[in-house]
Amino acid sequence: MVEMFDAPTRLRLAIASARYGGGAKTMAAKVMRDGADAYEHVLDTLTSSQIEQINETADRLVDQGVDALLLTDRGYPPLLAASRNGPPALFVKGPHHLLLQPGIGTCGSRHAGEDSLRAARACSEAVAAHGFNLVSGYARGVDMVTHVGALANGGTTTIVLAEGIERFKVRRGEFADRWDSSRCVVVSQFSPSQPWSAGAAMTRNAVISGLSKALVVVEAGETGGTLAAGMHALERGQPVLVLQLSDTHQAGNQMLLSKGATPVHSRKELEWCLADLPSNGSTQLSLM
């Protein structure tokens, strides 16, 4: 993979593919078949008015410090590119190099209880201590706690949005207190102004998994995005660690364990798992 375009051009091509590429899977398939020409082919089909709107959006994003990574770029995260769910383009705000560091994904309920939030905090501290980049969404609850925990302990973090990157704002409170733009990168696969939706959150979970060597599940219900994220990771042969650090064992946690996820009963066990991660992230872990 090589970088064939400058930053403004990458943005224009990424916006065009997100808006007019026929959907992420269709566009990604075209890119895998035709290479970088697939992006330019999309532009060739657009009207002058559509191109003008794309150019205006790209100029605005440049002013906001946003760049784009195309699936054909050298800097596109290789684990994500190798997965079946690699988006044709990522909009990126912050240090790109964090996307190339070994990552640990985390997911859990936005309505998690206090025990689960304490477990999430312990998880993020362990991830930072072992030098991994923490990867999670941007919902309240588990997502925010893990981002804060990683930043508070000198670590780095990747925020994967379920909406367009223009909708990102640093949230007030403890997260804003810990915010460090040199240690946090924000990514989105969606058109820059697209609003949040449940469907986008489900789609986004595949990117969290694709940026990570392992996925840590803090609290999963018997339905919902956290369970779906864990199941997706298991299906692609990724290590899934289910935290069992309290007496509250969610139904979704048990479902994931029954499918081959690894239970983690203490912070020390979690640290063992992190230290024992296989280099290619393709083999389920064992605490034996």
Tens digit of each residue's pLDDT (9 = 90 or more) over 53-85: 999 999 999 999 999 999 999 899 998 998 888
Alpha-carbon span 154 to 130, nearest angstrom: 11
Tens digit of each residue's pLDDT (9 = 90 or more) over 96-147: 999 999 999 999 888 888 888 898 999 999 999 999 999 999 999 999 999 9
* Burial (CB count within 10 angstroms: exposed 0-12, middle 13-18, buried 19+), residue 248: middle
Q: How far apart are the first and last CA of the chain?
A: 39
Alpha-carbon span 198 to 224, nearest angstrom: 10
Q: How confident is the model at residue 252 (pLDDT cuts 50, 70, 90)?
A: confident
Alpha-carbon span 139 to 131, nearest angstrom: 24
Q: How confident is the model at residue 225 (pLDDT cuts 50, 70, 90)?
A: confident
- pLDDT value for 114: 85
- pLDDT value for 30: 95
Other beta carbons within 10 Å of 85: 17
Transcribe 99-120 into DSSP letters.
GGS-EEEEE--TT--HHHHHHH
Tell how strand 214-217 and strand 184-188 pair up.
unpaired
- pLDDT value for 278: 60
- pLDDT value for 248: 57
CATH topology of domain 98-275: Rossmann fold (3.40.50)
Q: What are the Cα distances from residue 214, in Å, to 60, 123, 178, 263?
A: 35, 12, 25, 13
- pLDDT value for 1: 45
- pLDDT value for 246: 64
Residue 134 and residue 104 in contact, taking contact as beta carbons nearer than 8 Å: yes
* Burial (CB count within 10 angstroms: exposed 0-12, middle 13-18, buried 19+), residue 120: buried
Domain ranges within the chain, ordered by starting residue: 7-72, 98-275
